[in-house]
Amino acid sequence: MYDVKKIREDFPILSRELYGKPLVYLDNAATSQKPRQVIDALTDYYTNYNANVHRGVHTLSQEATDLYEGARTKVARFINADEPEEIVWTRNTTESINLVAHTWAKANIQAGDEIVVTPMEHHSNLVPWQQVARESGAKLRIMPLAEDAGLDMSQIDQYITSRTKLLAMVHVSNGIGAVNPVKELAAKARKVGAAVLVDGAQSVPHMPVDVKDIDCDFMAFSGHKMLGPTGIGALYVKRETLEEMDPFLTGGEMVLEVWYDRASWNDLPMRFEAGTPNIADAVGLGAAVDYLEGIGMENIRQHEVQLTEYALDAFKEIEAVDLFGPLESERRGGILSFHTDIVHPHDLGTFLDRDAIAIRTGHHCTMPLMRSLGVVASARASLYLYNTEEEIDCLVDSLKRALRYFGDGTR
């Protein structure tokens, strides 16, 4: 049985109080909280194993290397990659996508080619492709939004065509919570010979994700959104694609042999990891993966679906609020992004904060999406494995009071 009370006990920060009230943390799409198991893994690493990796013959260095490479193996298994070598460590999703833009895209995208993205991309899966298009002369094409703010699949064949070289798409939108049919879209891209990149920043932490089943070339995600530390992320690259790619950054670690006038490249994936890597945080991310697997990604998804349905029901009763994104739970992640004419999202966020409720307000790094929805900003509550129905009740209660307060001045 899913024991949310027991799960909450693993997260020290969740027992904090703000303004005399228990913290209700609903900003998980921005970053997740960390369980004691992850915090302990970091302390244990620095207390007992700290050394540089891949270099030393001494025992500490070998132990540190084993922990670091062990974490890579865990992450590879977590998304069902064929082998750990297909996981390149990065700082976060943004760096993972930029790595592809600066290596694979530079070598493969030319004038006349098309890069296709969804209308709900985070800036980190949009701006790099704007740059690639500008530099190469390729065209960037934006798929259309449907009425319910999901992806409009009816016109998809006009977008994914023989000119498409890359389909880069967000799996779960951080702006509105829509889950995109990435497997179906990847199959269409494959048919026309295009490469496929999936921004998994909001899917890998929340649901079972299988890169082989999706059949993508690239999957980018961040450790800090999946209970891991900040500063560590990953890029999955299918082996055959990775083998063809030139290095991103150059210097130590990524080379095999160096002469004064030239160098040869190290094995995969070290070829893409120049300099001393973020060892401790990779180990911390490995502990986060252990924790998530211990609970089970299917169970986590189920918990979030139930909680989202509970929240959607409660939101239906608040007339003054428009909720963005598809309403069916299978087409949505645990993200509730909403707008009201009564109060600016920032004022609402401040009001809720006084009730110790943490939500995000703003454009969520999806400015073009917000413009398409006719707003400059939204308020966003985002759920995770430790959230409860009582916390949704707190949100709804505080939201109703805020609407009264900003609407007619009564509390």
Contact between 370 and ligand PMP by CB under 6 A: the answer reads no
92 binds ligand PMP (CB under 6 A): yes
| Least distance to ligand PMP, CB of residue 400, Å | 28
To ligand PMP, the closest distance from the beta carbon of 363 in angstroms equals 11
In the complex, the smallest distance separating the C-beta of residue 373 from ligand PMP, rounded to whole angstroms, is 16
Q: Which of 27, 85, 114, 199 binds ligand PMP (CB under 6 A)?
A: 199
CA distance 85 to 6: 35
Indicate which residue of 76, 132, 285, 365 is catalytic.
365
- For residue 126, give the nearest of 81, 163, 174, 158 by alpha carbon: 174
Give me 231's structure tokens: 């500063």
Among 28, 93, 118, 136, binds ligand PMP (CB under 6 A): 93
Q: Is 124 in the site for ligand PMP (CB under 6 A)?
A: yes
- CB nearer ligand PMP, residue 174 or residue 378: 174
| Gap between the Cα atoms of 146 and 1, Å rounded | 37
Q: Does 169 bind ligand PMP (CB under 6 A)?
A: no
Give the range of 3-11, 121-129, 303-311, 335-343 binding ligand PMP by CB under 6 A. Answer: 121-129
Q: Among 28, 98, 164, 202, which residue sits at the site for ligand PMP (rule: CB under 6 A)?
A: 202
Nearer to ligand PMP, 4 or 142 (CB): 142
Q: Mask of contacts with ligand PMP, 265-304, x by CB under 6 A?
A: ----------------------------------------
Q: Is the peptide bond before 269 cis (omega within 30 degrees of 0)?
A: yes
Residue 380 Cβ vs ligand PMP, minimum distance, rounded to whole Å: 10
By CB under 6 A, how many residues form the interface with ligand PMP? 14
Side-chain-facing half-sphere of 361: CA atoms under 13 Å: 16
Closer residue to ligand PMP, CB minimum distance, 198 or 402: 198
Residue 394 falls in the annotated catalytic set: no
- 201, 270, 335, 356: which one binds ligand PMP (CB under 6 A): 201
Cβ proximity to ligand PMP: between 248 and 351 the closer is 248
Comparison of 174 and 308: residue with beta carbon closer to ligand PMP:
174
Tokens found for residue 171? 């799996």
Residues 10-29 that bind ligand PMP (CB under 6 A): 29
Q: Report in angstroms how near the CB of residue 201 gets to ligand PMP at its nearest.
A: 3
In this structure, what token pair is assigned to residue 239?
């082996």
User: 164 or 180: whose CB is closer to ligand PMP?
Assistant: 180
- The residues near 288 (Cβ < 8 Å, ≥ 6 apart) are 34, 35, 37, 38, 223, 226, 227, 228
Please say which residue, 168 or 311, places its beta carbon nearer to ligand PMP: 168
Residue 400 CA, distance from chain mean position:
30
How many C-beta neighbours within 10 Å does residue 391 have?
22
> Do residues 284 and 229 touch, judged by C-beta distance below 8 A?
yes
What residue type is 377 in one-letter code?
Answer: A
Which segments of 22-181 does DSSP mark as H helices, in order? 36-44, 59-78, 93-102, 104-108, 127-136, 156-159
Of 198 and 399, nearer to ligand PMP (C-beta) is 198
Which tokens go with 334?
């645990």
Nearest to 303 by CA among 54, 4, 24: 4
Would you state the structure tokens that stand for residue 40, as one six-digit string? 């302990």
The reply on whether position 103 binds ligand PMP by CB under 6 A is: no
Q: Answer for the pair 288, 38: CB distance below 8 angstroms, yes or no.
A: yes
Residue span binding ligand PMP (CB under 6 A) among the ranges 119-127, 146-154, 274-282, 342-350: 119-127
Torsion angle defined by CA atoms of residues 234, 237, 239 and 242, in that order, rounded to the nearest 10 degrees: -100
- E strand segments, 176-310: 195-199, 218-222, 233-237, 255-258, 263-265
Residue 144 has what DSSP assignment?
A: P
Q: How far is the CB of 174 from ligand PMP (least distance, A)?
A: 3
Distance of alpha carbon 113 from alpha carbon 192, whole angstroms: 12
Residues 95 and 277: beta-carbon distance below 8 Å: no
Pick the stretch among 2-10, 50-58, 77-85, 197-205 that binds ligand PMP (CB under 6 A): 197-205
222 binds ligand PMP (CB under 6 A): yes
Rule CB under 6 A: which residues touch ligand PMP? Answer: 29, 92-94, 122, 124-125, 170, 174, 199, 201-202, 222, 365
Catalytic residues: 365
